[in-house]
Amino acid sequence: MKILITGFILMLFLNAFTVKAQKIISEGTLIYNISIQTGSSEPKMADMLDGATTAIYIKGSQSRSELVSGLGSEVTIYDSKKGSGVILKDYSGQKLMITLTKEDWDKKNSKYEGITFESTNETLTIAGYNCRKTVAKLKDGSSFVVYYSPEIEMADKDYDSQFKNLPGLALQYEWQSGKMKFKYTLSKINFDVIAVSKFDIPKSGYRVMTYSETKK
């Protein structure tokens, strides 16, 4: 009986330690560096995108993703509680705002429905965090590699549909577009308070279109 009680207490202690050791992010900034691999016919595109970064700002149910490259910038502002958001594109002086309803957001991310993650034994240290390698598999048969840290968890898992079922934070992942492969690698996490104004939607300066209109 004493052995059973001792074992039970030890289990509770270990579980409590794990919970305590895991960092839950409900507010903060994630900075990713982007590297690009292209086919031989697209070296100029790679040069334009060289040094691109993505900053993701999180505050409760609100998120703002900023992609900045030599081509311009693209910002996505999303509120998971409302289920709606906007995409702000600024390329070559052309500024476009795309509005998305909850239904639009679901359609935009439908490719990630049913996504699964197949764990491997490979590990890697990224930005000081211990990461595990997993292979993400989509319903269309495609897949991509993700290195995630179980030491960090997002309070709002809806900030990025592709990682909603991932048991931790993605610190490195790949994304394929035609012959171009993008690799996102976390460079820094900042836990400073984010101003509410960061998630304000511009009221002027953009040509406004609905998500449905962009698909016509």
Res 7: pLDDT: 52
Q: What is the pLDDT of residue 196?
A: 96
**pLDDT in the model for residue 44:** 58
Residue 159 CA to residue 166 CA, distance in Å, equals 12
Strand partners, 65: 56, 76
Give the pLDDT score at 98: 98
Architecture label for domain 23-214: Clam (2.50)
3-class SS letters over 112-166: HCCCEEEEEEEEEEECCEEEEEEEEECCCCCEEEEEEECCEEECCHHHCHHHCCC
209 burial via Cβ count (<10 Å: 0-12, 13-18, 19+): middle
Yes or no: say if 186 and 38 are a contact pair by the CB < 8 Å rule: no
Rounded-to-integer distance, Cα 103 and Cα 169, Å? 26
User: Within a 10 A sphere around the Cβ of 208, how many other Cβ atoms?
Assistant: 12
Mean pLDDT by 10 residues, the chain (216 residues): 49 44 89 81 61 94 94 95 95 95 95 94 95 95 95 92 94 85 93 96 96 91
| pLDDT given for residue 21 in this prediction | 59
pLDDT at 4: 47
Residue ranges in the chain assigned as alpha helix (H)? 2-21, 43-49, 102-108, 211-214
pLDDT at 205: 95
